[in-house]
Amino acid sequence: ARGIRHTAVRQAHHKYESDFHDKYGNLVLLGGAVVFTAVWGYVLTQAGIEWGLSPIGRITPKEWKE
């Protein structure tokens, strides 16, 4: 039990050093969001994909059978 308590006290008194995530985490997250938005913006608008969302012009009504 002394070892655990000693370790906890030592960590509590240890000066907190910022790591990579503290320094650059928000910047990396923001950069990823920008790239994500740019890529999908291109795909949705410029890639020439035929999405086929509207049935107008593709579906013709059948003749009515009595």
Take residue 8 and report the two structure tokens written for it: 């906890």
pLDDT digits (tens, 9 = 90+) for 27-51: 999 999 999 999 999 988 888 877 7
Amino acid 56: pLDDT: 74
**d(Cα 3, Cα 22) in Å, to the nearest integer?**
29
pLDDT at 57 over 60: yes
**d(Cα 43, Cα 41) in Å, to the nearest integer?**
6
pLDDT digits (tens, 9 = 90+) for 1-24: 556 666 655 555 556 678 888 899
Q: For the chain, give every domain's residue range.
A: 19-43
pTM for the predicted model, two decimal places? 0.49
User: Of 17, 20, 18, which Cα lies nearest the Cα of 29?
Assistant: 20
